[in-house]
Structure 1
Amino acid sequence: MTTDSESRDPAVVLPDREVEPGDGAAGPLELEAVIARQVRRYRVAAGLSVGDMATRVGISKAMLSKIENAQTSCSLTTLGRLAIGLNVPVTALFRGVDAEREAVFVPAGHGARIARRGSRVGHLYELLGALRGPHKRMEAVLVTLTESSEVFPLFQHPGTELLYMLEGEMLYGHGEASYTLRPGDALQLDGEGTHGPQELIEVPIRFLSVTAYGDHPPE
């Protein structure tokens, strides 16, 4: 008999249950189908038979067969065991459940021009699209410097920035260090450190600036 305290215990995990036809708990069996496909794919890639995998995970061969055929709904405990046995994160078993994701396509030459520090002294910034809300974890900008550009702005911002030179040559500073950047060169830096162009050696200069903000996107 289950006591009231046991029923309220958040650590109690529901057992695996059979999936009945018409059961809408996971949205037309989509979740079970995705887990089945991922478990089978990772198991085959690891070179494991159903029996070997069942032994490694600590479940019966029949149960693993049901999981791989989307005939059962896994408990969190079983999903955790499967992930450990396959040496993948638990989230890997759900890949494909939410297939539709936001994407932004910007044709060549159609990026929105934005105002940044340095805009008034000839620094042209072309935004190459940005996702919105919590998915805005990176920002890509095409920067162009010409004869009319002045070496002026110094930047500081959260996140990590990657610069990739496309054209021209410049001396770029970060903190106390300086780097000569030519086409094909890349510089990755901590955005919290002061950084910016120090000398425009050969213009026009074009480089791609990609800033990754991690789990804390800018407002």
Structure 2
Amino acid sequence: MVEIGPIIRDIRKTKQLSLRNIAERTDLTMGYLSLVERNKVSPSLSSIEKIAGAMSIPVSSLFPRPKIQTQYIPKERRTHLHHSLGGLLEYLCNPTPSSSLCVYITKIHALESMIFQHEGTELIYVLHGELHLYVGTEEYVMREGDAILFNASAPHWGVPCDDKLEMIVACTSINNCHLFSEKSTR
């Protein structure tokens, strides 16, 4: 639940308006307005609209805005990892503890026959080459331009058909994304 009382009070004081000024402009009592500002009562939408109107502000300014995190990563600043599965991983966005998405381009020269299974959703888009991908009991022959989205909690593994396999991989659970390694380059 959003506590807008202190926001109303801060804006009212910034605009040098008294509770009496707001009460006169809204037909709400000073006592009620005081309770609203102290979060002792939840005002109705109608009351919020009256209060915002009395302060000459849009209703939306009374609600906190979510913080938007933006990552701009020029090509020359991307992180590159050599992973133990036989290839190179290039992050398109740098994974952070607060991020729920990991996206990278991977070039795989050889792929050990490892079965992966982790939480989250995974998307694979083949840029070049061919991949035989197994998800659960299904086999998918993926070629350039093919994409697949699947629940990564299903066992999955891939077999590259040539040494030119390059793909974009996105995982929604970065802590369990399977192509991490210890060797990093820039």
Structure 1 gap segments, 5+ residues each:
1-12, 25-56, 80-92
Structure 2 distance, partners of 1:139, 1:59, is: 43
Alignment of 1:38-117 (within 5 A): 59=46, 63=50, 66=53, 69-70=56-57, 94-95=64-65, 98=67, 101-108=68-75, 110-117=77-84
- TM-score computed with the length of structure 2 as normaliser: 0.59
- The C-alpha deviation readout for 1:38-66, integer Å capped at 9, x for no partner, is xxxxxxxxxxxxxxxxxxx8727971761
Structure 2 distance, partners of 1:156, 1:102, is: 29
Post-superposition shift, 1:110?
4.6
Structure 2 distance, partners of 1:62, 1:104, is: 36
- TM-score computed with the length of structure 1 as normaliser: 0.51
1:123 aligned partner: 87
Post-superposition shift, 1:105?
2.7
Secondary structure in 2 matching 1:193: coil
Is the CA contact (8 Å cut-off) linking 2:48 and 2:59 kept in structure 1? no
Paired residue total: 145
The amino acid of 2:145's aligned partner reads: G
Post-superposition shift, 1:180?
1.1
Give aligned-pair identity as a percent. 19
Which of 166, 175, 178 is residue 218 of structure 1 equivalent to?
Answer: 175
The 1:104–1:170 alpha-carbon spacing in structure 2 relative to 1, beyond 3 Å, is same
Post-superposition shift, 1:188?
0.9
Post-superposition shift, 1:159?
1.1
Structure 1 distance, partners of 2:60, 2:161, is: 63
Post-superposition shift, 1:130?
2.3
Post-superposition shift, 1:152?
2.5
The amino acid of 2:101's aligned partner reads: M
Larger RCO: Structure 1 or Structure 2 (Cα < 8 Å, ≥ 6 residues apart)?
2
2:164 aligned partner: 204
Structure 1 distance, partners of 2:123, 2:146, is: 11
Secondary structure in 1 matching 2:50: helix
1:50 aligned partner: none
Secondary structure in 2 matching 1:106: coil
The amino acid of 1:144's aligned partner reads: K
CA RMSD of aligned residues (A): 3.9
The 1:177–1:62 alpha-carbon spacing in structure 2 relative to 1, beyond 3 Å, is closer
Post-superposition shift, 1:176?
1.0
Secondary structure in 1 matching 2:164: strand
The 1:192–1:116 alpha-carbon spacing in structure 2 relative to 1, beyond 3 Å, is farther
